[in-house]
């Protein structure tokens, strides 16, 4: 019986010595997604579908599930260069309907490619998908490819919410580049009406009762959840139930400079240096000036963050989950000492800093997993100041800024600097506020030879944040003006035939539309 | 602070310094079950209560049926539940009021955080009464409605739990089924389901439809409600079995060292072989095997020849500076730490390491995933296994660190009715004993100046679910209400020496605590929120 194990050097994971055809072994707990999943958005325009798609994708990538958004609107804009008016979306505009269908098919082809060849786990199909016919087509497509399907329908009948959504994200859309906002608003409202006529909401009582779905009603006031199939769907549901769209601000900073920082030691549980204490007072002043309603303050359970929070004269909560990365045998050592005493470990960490686990300590990957409940709770909260540590702050920041596992361990989070994060439209605005108290620099740049692409291994089924990939900029669809396959311009995307099983794959739509 | 290794400001201000779980507990919550009889309300109540207590939120079920049976000693037939039976309706309402009174006492005086009000609550009138009660006392309310139209599910539920109810002593199956179905009909007449579109649109609730096939969730208010929703969406009622065991005996076990990452001893390897044989004999469909990321569990799993998954969060408790030491060495090198741990083993955090409390928090995702899964074998470690076991057997923080989880022994857990059946299977491969009993202590072994700090509120501390009040506040005229404190695994009550010898061998957790107290008092005074006239019930 094979009982001999070897420990992998970077991740410190025990593996059997023999290289038997590997039984799948995962390093990070539950199976996140066993067969690829297509998440299909459903809803009228301006119901926050794109917002949900992007946000969910960012979250899934951060927890390590490779996910990508396929926004059919972008395919459409690519196919039809000049949007003239809502006329295009009228249900009786047959030519346009054909184009739109082609766009959907092209996007589905890319979904297939992503899930079968590019190691994607989840594809988010971001389109209105308001008709049963369209959803039936997607279901067929998924069935043929063995993909699971999960529908997310956003239902909102509050006109003020819809209007504010249109104002916030639609008026700046490329469709309305040369248009004043009143006209754009009016056109967009008509566009919504075009869909309204043929909209068939998901019907969990009858027609759609076998489908796995969540209906998000009135921006999260109510949810209907049907037939959740697996771990990842249950995680998605939980996430969607916790996010909100209230305006708020998140402040991230590290503790004030510590005694160990001064000596260049990592880890440990030392107190603040004199400059660190100065920072704590400056932070107090800063927080007062921000004049925030109901600010929550979170710290780790280490002395240096708690000392920092104590200066604020505010209630605060201690999270053990926010403690600094556990450096195991290297705790309380300087980098120099580590280099001397554990030269091999030191080199390994530079090789792959995200995966590297300190002997009997943690890796950034471990940290992301530990911080997931913090992110979930941050999503639920409003104004929060998180006083944490360098590695922890990097992980949190990577979530908000959608950074990959490769970049994360090198994000710059200097001491005595507050990052102010404000959600805007589909993303997050960052302001970096230095409180002008000197401190040592604790940042170690990526060594030159380490500047390489992310480890291609372990992408599947790992807790490895990936930056959400850009939506395919140039979809593989013929431009209707030119009738030329532009797809070949896409690196790594071989032009493919439309899957024959898909109905209506007639690419021969060379009519001019505009 | 000594036990928790948690930093507290020296001049303790009134300011709140909270740990993680404080989110759960800002204002007490009343969870109100809704649904026709035999819709699994009691199942959900008990299971949810067990979970909440395990994650450290003091929670207790108040089952109205228990109060009713207390008030009306012998049940005759469904006639009692007919909506036109005025006298009975009156009694039932008074029972509800008494139960609410107990809810109030629990949440305001007994440090309870969540009360689960387990009754049908099928009418708006009743729910409005509860809502105004909650408003008066500033409790949050969260409704859990169980809707099920599948006659097979209902019949199965009746057979499983209702037939054994004290209402039906003679256990004549067909009569029971018949009577119970009629009882359901009585409620159907007046049933007003939650209406999320109009009447109830401002309430916070979850509708669980057809045993978890569908959920409707409205206006989740806070962290704990969101946690409850997530939990309810993950549990299922399919029959399945969970096997818990530790790795085979390790080299460190042999030398009495804790922690570390050593490999299996020869006897440990023998156990791994025996485990393989055992698993094969069990013929389990789709068995998932989970290990930690420590060598000894992986070596054990490797010999099974099946797929397995490694979870870092299943790793043994981190003993910090005490890793790789024997208890003897710890006692010599860190005598204070050693004494502190004995004093308060659940809360005690090793310097630079973890406490059992930390472990429970770390293991929460494992429990959530175990609830989602079918058959699973978890190969873990002593402290980890104790935490998992405490969840399934509803053990308190007090008992948890002393649960017996010997090496080379498998615990087979099968869900039954409202509990969990445990079988202990010893594979007859010898191993060292790693169990340390709770030493006799008296509080002056504590280093001077450190009295144990009780962090009951806002702490992450499993409690055994308090039993439904065995004797509700029905007391005869002139006598005093019963003290209800006994239901708590109270840390306060634990000063001095009380050794707990826990036996986990082949124990069946009582499927339901239907108390049948031999109380002769037929004359009952029911106390309600408002002055209630004295009622004499004669049956």
The whole-angstrom distance between A2's CA and the closest CA on chain B is 7
Interface check B26 vs A, CB under 8 A: no
- Contact by Cβ (8 Å): B131, B34: no
User: Could you give the CA distance from residue A342 to residue A302 in angstroms, rounded to a whole number?
Assistant: 26
- Contact by Cβ (8 Å): A31, A377: no
Q: In what order do the strands lie in the sheet with B17-19?
A: A427-434, A417-424, A250-254, A384-388, A296-299, A316-318, B17-19
Intervals of chain A under pLDDT 50: 21-33, 450, 452-464, 472-514
Distance from the first to the final alpha carbon of chain B? 57
The whole-angstrom distance between A235's CA and the closest CA on chain B is 9
- pLDDT at position B8 is 61
Is residue B247 annotated as a catalytic residue, yes or no? Answer: yes
Q: b/e string for A392-420 if b means 16 or more Cβ within 10 A?
A: bbbbbbbbbbbbbbbbbbbbebbbbbbbb
- pLDDT at position A488 is 34
- pLDDT at position B3 is 57
Which chain A residues are Cβ-neighbours of B263 within 8 angstroms?
3, 5
The whole-angstrom distance between B418's CA and the closest CA on chain A is 24
CB contact under 8 Å between B19 and A25, yes or no, is: no
DSSP code per residue over A185-216 = HHHHHHHHHHHHTT-----TTTTTTTS-EEEE
- By C-alpha distance, which of B105, B147, B106, B143 is closest to B127? B143
Q: Could you tell me how many residues make up chain B?
A: 539
Token reading at B226? 């969101």
Best A223, A227, A333, A377 member to test B by mutation, with max B CBs in 10 Å, is A223
The whole-angstrom distance between A30's CA and the closest CA on chain B is 7
The whole-angstrom distance between B300's CA and the closest CA on chain A is 8
- pLDDT at position B465 is 67
Residues 6+ apart with CB under 8 A from A14: A5, A6, A7, A8, B293, B294, B295, B298, B299, B310
CB interface of A with B, residues 2-21, below 8 Å: 2-3, 5, 7, 12-14, 16
CB contact under 8 Å between B226 and A380, yes or no, is: yes
Token reading at B92? 């039932």
Distance from the first to the final alpha carbon of chain A? 71
Which chain B residues are Cβ-neighbours of A27 within 8 angstroms?
293, 310, 312
Binding residues of B for substrate: 246-253, 296
Q: b/e string for B190-201 if b means 16 or more Cβ within 10 A?
A: eeeebebeeebe
User: Could you give the CA distance from residue A307 to residue A311 in angstroms, rounded to a whole number?
Assistant: 7
- How many Cβ pairs within 8 Å bridge chains A and B? 145
Is residue B423 annotated as a catalytic residue, yes or no? Answer: no
Helix H or strand E segment including A141:
helix A132-145
Q: Which neighbouring-strand residues pair with B289? A: B377
CB contact under 8 Å between A234 and B352, yes or no, is: no
- pLDDT at position B11 is 44
- By C-alpha distance, which of B355, B276, B206, B140 is closest to A2? B276
3-state secondary structure of B535: strand
Residue of chain A nearest B371, judged by CA positions? A231
Using the Cα atoms of residue A394, residue A400, residue A405 and residue A410 in order, give the sign of their dihedral: negative
User: Distance of CA A385 to CAs A258, B27, B490, B533, Å?
Assistant: 19, 23, 36, 55
> Could you tell me where the DSSP H helices lie in B191-304?
223-234, 251-255, 266-282, 295-302
- pLDDT at position B313 is 94
- pLDDT at position B124 is 97
- By C-alpha distance, which of A353, A299, A301 is closest to A327? A353
- pLDDT at position B60 is 97
In this complex, which of A223, A306, A320 lies closest to B20 when CB atoms are compared?
A: A320
- Active-site positions of A read 255, 324
3-state secondary structure of B245: strand
CB interface of A with B, residues 192-211, below 8 Å: 204
Report the interhelical angle of B223-234 vs A364-380 (nearest 10°): 120
CB contact under 8 Å between B17 and A317, yes or no, is: yes
Q: In this predicted model, what pLDDT tens digit does every residue of A2-14 receive, in sequence order?
A: 568 888 888 888 8
Residue of chain B nearest A220, judged by CA positions? B219
- pLDDT at position A457 is 36
Intervals of chain B under pLDDT 50: 11-25, 443-461, 467-539
Which chain B residues are Cβ-neighbours of A26 within 8 angstroms?
309-310
Q: Is A22 exposed, middle or buried (0-12, 13-18, 19+ CB in 10 A)?
A: exposed
CB contact under 8 Å between A226 and B214, yes or no, is: yes
The whole-angstrom distance between B469's CA and the closest CA on chain A is 34
Token reading at B391? 């969840």
Which chain A residues are Cβ-neighbours of B311 within 8 angstroms?
28-30
Token reading at A25? 């072994």
Half-sphere exposure of B39 (CA within 13 A, CB side): 26
CB contact under 8 Å between A25 and B299, yes or no, is: no
Q: Is B164 exposed, middle or buried (0-12, 13-18, 19+ CB in 10 A)?
A: middle
CB contact under 8 Å between B20 and A234, yes or no, is: no
Token reading at B367? 């429990």
User: Could you give the CA distance from residue B459 to residue A118 in angstroms, rounded to a whole number?
Assistant: 45
pTM for the full predicted model: 0.84
Q: Which neighbouring-strand residues pair with A272? A: A258
Residues 6+ apart with CB under 8 A from B247: B264, B268, B294, B296, B297, B299, B300, B379, B380, B381, B407
CB contact under 8 Å between A5 and B302, yes or no, is: yes
Which chain A residues are Cβ-neighbours of B17 within 8 angstroms?
315-318
Interface check B214 vs A, CB under 8 A: yes
Best A212, A224, A243, A378 member to test B by mutation, with max B CBs in 10 Å, is A224
Using the Cα atoms of residue A168, residue A172, residue A175 and residue A178 in order, give the sign of their dihedral: positive
């Amino acid at each position: 019986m094979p009982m001999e194990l070897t420990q992998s050097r970077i991740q410190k994971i025990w593996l059997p010595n023999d290289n038997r055809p590997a039984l799948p072994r995962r390093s990070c707990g539950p199976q996140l997604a066993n067969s690829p999943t297509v998440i299909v958005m459903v809803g009228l325009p301006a119901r926050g579908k794109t917002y949900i798609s992007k946000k969910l994708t960012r979250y899934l990538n951060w927890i390590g599930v490779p996910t990508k958004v396929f926004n059919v609107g972008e395919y459409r804009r690519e196919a039809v260069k000049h949007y003239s008016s809502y006329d295009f979306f009228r249900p009786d505009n047959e030519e346009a309907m054909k184009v739109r269908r082609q766009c959907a098919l092209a996007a589905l082809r890319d979904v297939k490619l992503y899930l079968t060849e590019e190691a994607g786990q989840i594809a988010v199909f971001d389109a209105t998908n308001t008709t049963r016919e369209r959803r039936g087509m997607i279901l067929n497509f998924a069935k043929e490819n063995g993909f699971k399907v999960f529908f997310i329908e956003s239902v909102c009948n509050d006109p003020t919410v819809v209007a504010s959504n249109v104002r916030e994200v639609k008026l700046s859309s490329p469709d309305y580049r040369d248009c004043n906002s009143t006209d754009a608003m009016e056109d967009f409202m008509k566009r919504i009406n075009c869909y309204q006529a043929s909209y068939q909401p998901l019907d969990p009582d009858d027609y759609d009762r076998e489908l796995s779905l969540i209906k998000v009603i009135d921006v999260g006031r109510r949810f209907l959840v049907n037939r959740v199939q697996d771990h990842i769907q249950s995680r998605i549901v939980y996430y969607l139930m916790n996010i909100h769209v209230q305006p708020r601000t998140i402040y991230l900073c590290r503790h004030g400079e510590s005694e160990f920082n001064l000596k260049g030691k990592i880890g440990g549980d030392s107190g603040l240096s004199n400059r660190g204490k100065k920072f704590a007072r400056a932070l107090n002043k800063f927080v007062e000036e921000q004049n925030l309603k109901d600010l929550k303050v979170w710290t780790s359970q280490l002395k240096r963050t708690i000392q920092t929070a104590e200066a604020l004269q505010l209630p605060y909560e201690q999270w053990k989950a926010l403690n600094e990365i556990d450096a195991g045998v290297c705790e309380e050592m300087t980098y120099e000492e580590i280099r001397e005493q554990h030269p091999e470990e030191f080199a390994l960490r530079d090789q792959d800093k995200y995966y590297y686990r300190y002997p009997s300590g943690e890796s950034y990957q471990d940290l992301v997993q530990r911080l997931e409940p913090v992110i979930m709770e941050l999503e639920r909260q409003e104004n929060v100041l998180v006083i944490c540590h360098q590695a922890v702050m990097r992980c949190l920041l990577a979530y908000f800024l959608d950074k990959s596992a490769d970049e994360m361990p090198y994000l710059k989070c200097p001491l005595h600097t507050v990052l102010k994060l404000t959600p805007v439209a589909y993303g997050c605005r960052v302001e970096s506020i230095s409180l002008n108290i000197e401190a040592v620099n604790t940042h170690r740049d990526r060594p030159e030879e380490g500047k390489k692409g992310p480890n291609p291994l372990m992408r599947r089924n790992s807790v490895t944040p990936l930056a959400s990939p850009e939506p395919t900029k140039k979809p593989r669809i013929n431009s209707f003006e030119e009738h030329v396959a532009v797809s070949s311009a896409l690196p790594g995307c071989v032009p493919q035939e439309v899957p024959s099983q898909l109905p209506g794959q007639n690419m021969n739509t060379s009519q001019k539309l505009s | 602070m000594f036990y928790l290794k948690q930093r507290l400001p020296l001049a303790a201000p009134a300011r709140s310094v909270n740990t993680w779980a404080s989110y759960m507990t800002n204002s007490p919550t009343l969870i109100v079950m809704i649904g026709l009889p035999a819709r699994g309300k009691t199942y959900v109540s008990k299971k949810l209560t067990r979970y909440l207590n395990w994650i450290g939120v003091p929670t207790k079920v108040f089952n109205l049926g228990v109060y009713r049976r207390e008030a009306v000693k012998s049940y005759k037939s469904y006639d009692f539940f007919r909506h036109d039976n005025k006298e009975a309706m009156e009694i039932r309402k008074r029972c509800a009021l008494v139960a609410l009174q107990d809810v109030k006492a629990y949440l305001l005086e007994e440090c309870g955080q969540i009360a689960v009000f387990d009754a049908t609550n099928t009418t708006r009138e009743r729910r409005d009464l509860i809502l105004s009660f909650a408003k008066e006392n500033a409790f949050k309310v969260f409704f859990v409605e169980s809707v099920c139209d599948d006659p097979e599910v209902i019949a199965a539920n009746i057979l499983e739990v209702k037939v054994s109810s004290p209402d039906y002593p003679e256990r004549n199956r067909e009569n029971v089924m018949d009577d119970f179905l009629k009882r359901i009909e009585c409620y159907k007449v007046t049933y007003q389901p939650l209406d999320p579109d109009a009447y109830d649109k401002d309430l916070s609730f979850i509708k669980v439809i057809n045993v978890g096939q569908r959920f409707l969730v409205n206006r989740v208010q806070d962290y704990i409600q969101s946690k409850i929703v997530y939990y309810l969406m993950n549990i299922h009622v399919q029959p399945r079995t969970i096997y818990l065991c530790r790795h085979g005996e390790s080299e460190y076990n042999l030398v009495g060292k804790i922690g570390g990452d050593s490999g299996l001893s020869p006897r440990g390897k023998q156990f791994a072989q025996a485990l393989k044989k055992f698993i094969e004999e069990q013929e389990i469909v789709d068995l998932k095997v989970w290990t930690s990321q420590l060598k000894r569990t992986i070596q054990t799993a490797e010999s099974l020849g099946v797929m397995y998954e490694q979870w870092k969060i299943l790793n043994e408790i981190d003993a910090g500076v005490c890793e790789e030491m024997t208890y003897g060495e710890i006692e010599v090198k860190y005598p204070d730490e050693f004494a502190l741990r004995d004093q308060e083993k659940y809360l005690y955090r090793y310097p630079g390491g973890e406490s059992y409390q930390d472990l429970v928090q770390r293991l929460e995702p494992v429990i959530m995933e175990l609830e989602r899964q079918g058959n699973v074998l978890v190969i873990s470690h002593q402290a980890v296994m104790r935490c998992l076991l405490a969840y399934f057997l509803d053990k308190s923080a007090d008992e948890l660190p002393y649960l017996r989880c010997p090496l080379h022994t498998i615990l087979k857990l099968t869900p039954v009715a409202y509990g969990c059946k445990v079988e202990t299977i010893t594979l007859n491969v010898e191993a060292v004993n790693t169990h340390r009993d709770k030493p006799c202590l008296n509080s002056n072994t504590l280093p001077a100046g450190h009295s144990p700090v009780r962090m009951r509120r806002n702490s992450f501390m499993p409690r055994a679910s308090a039993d439904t009040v065995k004797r509700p506040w029905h007391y005869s005229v002139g006598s005093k209400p019963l003290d209800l404190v006994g239901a708590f695994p109270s840390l306060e009550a634990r000063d001095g020496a009380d050794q707990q010898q826990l036996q986990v061998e082949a124990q069946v957790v009582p499927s339901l605590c239907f108390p049948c107290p031999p109380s002769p008092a037929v004359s009952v005074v029911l106390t309600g929120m408002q002055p209630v006239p004295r009622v004499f019930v004669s049956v």
